Structure 1
Amino acid sequence: MLLKNMITGLAAVTCVLLGLTISGCICCNFGLPGDVTPTPEPWPTESPTGYPVEPTQEPDTYTPIHGTAVVIPTPAADVTPTPAADVTPTPVSGIMDAEMVGYGTDQDTYNRGDTATCYVEVRNTGEVPIERVDFIVNVYTTRPFIGKIHAIDDQTYTVDQQGIEPGTTKRVEISVVIPESYQGFNTAGDYQFEIVVRIGDKEIGNFSKDIKVV
């Protein structure tokens, strides 16, 4: 009977010790409320966005991680303009000469206020083209006891840009207006055209032509 009581007591002690051991482990693992230390969140491992990366394309272009390709303009080259070439025409050298080989008027009779056409035929006998022809014109009538009455007195008519090449002949014309009156006199009557033709500073010919004004 004594042995039985000892075994029973030993079993009871063992149960008490086992219960205390289990209670202590639970207390160590959970502790009291509010004593739990939070585990820190790990830092994100993704690379930050929105920052450009080193260019891997052509020197003047790169593409950010996010966004549209950016073009870096290449500075323009310093180009110095080339001065325009001197295009001043070279003067034509050579002898200028000509002769008058024909002349006349478009009509023999005119009304007062009409326009008469006078012409000369110029032959270029020189070495350079002839561009300008000058006409010195006199138109007059003769009245008894008065003498000459000029309707046109030493008036110069110039014709430019004729382009008469050496060895060629060209007809050059001028227009002369016949006035209705001159110095209070009616211009009807018989008149004479006297015309001197000049090329440059040289007279190449002259002619006279009788006309009638009615």
Structure 2
Amino acid sequence: MLKNWILALSLLALAPVAAWAEDWQEGKHYDLITPPLRTVDGDKVEVTEFFWYGCGHCYNFEPMVTQWKKSLADDVAFVGSPAVWNKPMELHAKAYYTAEVLGVLDTMHTVLFQAMNVDRKRLQSDKEIKALFTANGVAAEDFDKAYSSFGVGSQVRQANSRARAAKITGTPEMMVNGKYRISTRKAGSQANMLKIAEYLIAQERAAGAE
């Protein structure tokens, strides 16, 4: 009798977890990417955020993502990937990778979002972007060297290829381990995007442990 009671309690405890897992359905809440994209580090579950500095939805999503990233386990790698659909967006992607190369991404990521969404700057020229960097303590010569480097140009091209291969149609969108694409439209909300990402991370972690 005691064994049956313990078993019943165990099943009740597991029921909410099972229900939660079944809530997120492929094709309904997120999409499978075929063929899957190669990840940078095969030893970790990789989460990619596709964004654009001029996107108001991305601007609103960013504080949520920043907080969420702090909770990620050591076996999860987070990758930012700027969307590149036109020439101005290419400049903004260059700004992102320039900040990364110079080690000022934590500062400039916020500054670039603020400039486009709050200060209403369009940042459609190299000169405007350079002025933003130098106003935030980056030496002009350091900016020029990084911004025009082959490495930054290469990363912009890779970001463009990544978004196209993942069939990204808007921002913000997320990708988990190169296999799954999460959009706000299908997820239902930005908060749900993060919940689905957590679900898929757990799924990929379990698959890797088999």
Same fold judged by TM-score > 0.5?
A: no
RCO higher in structure (CA 8 A, sep ≥6): 2
**Shorter-normalised TM range:** under 0.3
Structure with greater strand percent: 1
After TM superposition, the score normalised by the length of structure 1 is 0.19
